[in-house]
Structures are given as C-alpha cells and as structure tokens.
C-alpha cells in the first residue's frame, strides 16, 4: 500500500530529510513528511501606524527638554508597526536611539502629511548635506565638522558635503507674549536658502542638516530650563529654520544650534543633561536625517507607490492642552478614516488648546502608561473600555419599537 504523506509541524521537512540521507548515502526508510508552518498572523492584517506629537517650544512637561520624550517613542515603537514622529521628540542632542520602524518627519512636513497633501516615502538611505552658519567661530565650526566626521567614520552615516553660508544668519529668538511659546527668526533667510540650493543642485543631496549660531544666553535666562522648568528658548526658532527649508525644497531638514559651552552645574536636571555632554547637538540630527522619509507631493505626477498616506494613520498621541496644531486638527477633521486621538493629561504645556475647547473627539488618559495601553488594545481590535472595571454598559438598541407607527431612532453605542 502506498505510503500516506501527513503534515505535522513536529517532524522534519522533506528537504532536510533528503539532505540528511544524501550526506549518508542512504535512502529514507520512512515516508517523507512535509511539515507545515502556518503563515505569520501579521500577513492577514495591515500594519498599524501611530503618530506621536509633542509641540516644540511650549514647555511640555514631557518632551519639552533635551529628548525627554524619546523613552515614550521607544516604548510606543515596540507596540505599533509604524511610528511617525518629529525631531522635537526624537532628538536628544548628543544622544539618539535607532528605531527601524520610526519615521523622522520634520514638523512642517508632518502638518502637510496630516492634511493629505504630502505622502511619506520610506528610504534605505539619504544623501545628507550640512549647512554651517558663517557666524560660527572657527573653533566651534571645527568642533561641528569633527562631529560630522565621527558620524561618518563611526556610524557610517551618509553625510556628503558641507557648505558655509555666504552671510551670517543672525538668529533672533523671543517668547510670544500671547501664547507663551518660544519663537524667533533669522535675519538673512536668503543666505540659508542659497546654501541649501547649492547643496541640492551641485552635490545632489536629498536631506539637509543646518547649524545656526545662536546668541549665548546669560545663565539666569536658561537656569529654569537647565533645572527642568520653563520652556526651551531655542526650540521655537529652530522650527522656523527647518520649516523654511522644508517648505522651499520639500526634503527632510533638521536644525542643531551652535552655542558656547556653559559652566558645569552639579544640580542639572536629567531631562536637560543630554545638551551638556558635548560641544554640539549635531549627532542626533545626522542620525535622524540619514533615514528620514522623503516627502512626495500628492497629485504632482510623482508615484505614491510604497508611500504612507494620512489615511494609513490609526492613532495620534498629543499633550492634553496642545491639540490646536495644524497636524492634530487635520487628523481630527478627516472625513473618511479618522484616527483615534489620545490626549495625555500629565503632559502639560503653556498652551490651552484642549480637545473640549476645540471640539475634538479624543480619548483622555492620565499619562503615557495609559496611552500605551490604549494603543495596544486599539491595535488588537479591542474596545479599550472593556479593560476597565464597569467599562462596558448593556448593548443599546439603535432602533426601538414605537407603539404607534413602527420604529424610531434611538441612541447608538
């Protein structure tokens, strides 16, 4: 009688059994049994994408200092399939942490992505160019170039050419008296744009790191920040600089300030410490830009194949009182596939833009611990309320019988 071939995951595969017999120059004495390994469950579901937003220069309790929201991003990236965030979350001056499933997206580009105007195209590697402000002193400029060389030699980062601006940028910064957030400007934006244009045109870079010489603050001006209080006085104008480049050239860009070292402070807050362990904030910028996604303008004739669209986003996590940004509002107003908006109460800012004031439907959580639990349940297709005591009420009938003429509408779940 012919042998019957059965399928069992505990038996050797036909290929491995034949290879064993061939090595020993013998014929198999047992029927060859082909094992069956079921496909990975992930093949039956689409990837889950989440956006983590902590606005810059608004004194966020978590994420308002030197990369102190990076642990949140690391934890979140271990749960979701794709995490999208921005430099304020992912930069930590001299420190960074590689997360293969995380997209490093500049703030202006993130807003355009949320609005559905731009798509995000993941890359294997970018060709990164470096712009140095001609207002940087020679010694400080050499320090930054040494960091660039170290990133190339020790990390293998794809940094190609650098250029020095033809005119000092002259960075100015201040605090908006109305909103309380930091902001500013550069007095010579054309000098920056000419430098970027030269790198794009002649070196053919497709991502740009910018280092501007910032005015040195007196210790009394930065004392609160160094001790984990107040707002980051540099962050607002940093965003202005990167926005300018991204809007003009539609390529990834991030900024690192050039500053003179400050005196040692033994009482320094851990949240601010990453900015005081070296001469520059450049390492995290170069690491982020090396694999930042490219920006594809939708409807401009470019292929969107393989790109991530705003409709692919499943959830957005934002501080409770910072929901008024363009990106968050765009996600909240999506008509077809609106992502779950999660507002974190523990992460307070100087703003007062809460979901209730803006009419945004959001799940409010006490802290990022709870936010991670909500995301895990949401990704698993579970109603998060079912994880709480008395979180689920009796099922309600959408249509109730009317004693007079049939059915009338009732409240949905």
Q: Is 38 exposed, middle or buried (0-12, 13-18, 19+ CB in 10 A)?
A: exposed
What's the confidence (pLDDT) of residue 262? 82
What's the confidence (pLDDT) of residue 304? 79
What is d(CA 159, CA 150) in angstroms, rounded to the nearest whole number? 10
- 81: nearest Cα among 47, 52, 105, 51: 47
What is d(CA 69, CA 173) in angstroms, rounded to the nearest whole number? 23
What's the confidence (pLDDT) of residue 219? 67
What is d(CA 378, CA 35) in angstroms, rounded to the nearest whole number? 34
DSSP letter assigned to residue 202: I
Residues of the chain with pLDDT under 50: 1-15, 17-18, 20-21, 27-37, 401-403, 407-413
pLDDT, averaged across the chain? 87
What is d(CA 359, CA 205) in angstroms, rounded to the nearest whole number? 42
Output the pTM of the full model.
Answer: 0.84
What is d(CA 147, CA 128) in angstroms, rounded to the nearest whole number? 14
What is d(CA 28, CA 39) in angstroms, rounded to the nearest whole number? 28
3-state secondary structure of 205: coil
What's the confidence (pLDDT) of residue 11? 38
What's the confidence (pLDDT) of residue 400? 56
What's the confidence (pLDDT) of residue 277? 85
What is d(CA 365, CA 357) in angstroms, rounded to the nearest whole number? 17
Contacts of 7 (CB under 8 A, 6+ apart): 33, 34, 35, 36
Distance linking the first and last C-alpha atoms of the chain: 61
Q: What percent of the chain has pLDDT over 90?
A: 67
Annotate 76-91 with b (16+ C-beta within 10 A) or e (fewer): bbebbebbbbbbbbbb
């Amino acid at each position: 009688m012919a042998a019957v071939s059965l399928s069992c995951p505990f038996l050797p595969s036909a290929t491995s059994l034949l290879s064993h017999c061939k090595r020993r120059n013998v014929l198999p004495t047992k029927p060859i049994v082909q094992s069956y390994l079921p496909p990975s469950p992930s093949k039956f579901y689409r990837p889950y994408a989440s956006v983590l937003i902590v606005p810059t220069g608004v004194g966020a309790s978590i994420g308002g200092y030197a990369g102190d929201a990076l642990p949140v991003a690391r934890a979140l990236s271990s749960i979701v399939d794709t995490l999208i965030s921005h430099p304020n979350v992912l930069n930590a001056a001299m420190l960074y942490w590689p997360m293969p499933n995380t997209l490093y997206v500049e703030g202006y580009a993130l807003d355009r992505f949320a609005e559905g105007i731009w798509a995000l195209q993941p890359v294997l590697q970018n060709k990164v160019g470096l712009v140095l402000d001609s207002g940087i002193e020679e010694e400080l400029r050499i320090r930054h170039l040494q960091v660039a060389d170290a990133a190339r030699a020790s990390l293998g980062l794809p940094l190609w050419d650098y250029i020095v601006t033809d005119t000092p940028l002259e960075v100015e910064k201040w605090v908006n008296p109305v909103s309380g957030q930091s902001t500013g400007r550069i007095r010579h934006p054309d000098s920056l744009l000419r430098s970027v244009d030269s790198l794009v045109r002649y070196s053919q870079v497709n991502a740009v790191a910018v280092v501007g010489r910032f005015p040195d603050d007196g210790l009394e001006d930065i004392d609160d920040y160094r001790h984990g209080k107040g707002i980051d006085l540099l962050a607002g104008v940093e965003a202005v600089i990167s926005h300018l480049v991204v809007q003009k050239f539609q390529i990834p860009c991030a900024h690192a300030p050039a500053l003179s070292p400050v005196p040692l402070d033994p009482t320094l807050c851990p949240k601010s410490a990453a900015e005081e362990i070296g001469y520059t904030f450049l390492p995290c910028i170069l690491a982020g830009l090396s694999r930042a996604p490219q920006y594809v303008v939708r409807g401009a004739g470019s292929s969107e194949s393989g790109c991530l669209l705003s409709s692919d986003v499943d959830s957005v996590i934002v501080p409770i009182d910072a929901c008024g940004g363009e990106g968050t509002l765009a996600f909240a107003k999506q008509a077809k596939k609106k992502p779950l908006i999660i507002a974190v109460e523990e992460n307070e800012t100087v703003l007062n833009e809460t979901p209730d004031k803006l009419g945004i439907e959001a799940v409010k959580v006490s802290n990022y611990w709870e936010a991670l639990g909500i995301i895990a349940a949401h990704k698993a297709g579970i109603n998060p309320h079912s994880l709480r005591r008395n979180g689920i009420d009796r099922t309600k009938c959408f249509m109730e019988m009317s004693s007079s003429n049939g059915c009338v509408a009732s409240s949905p779940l």
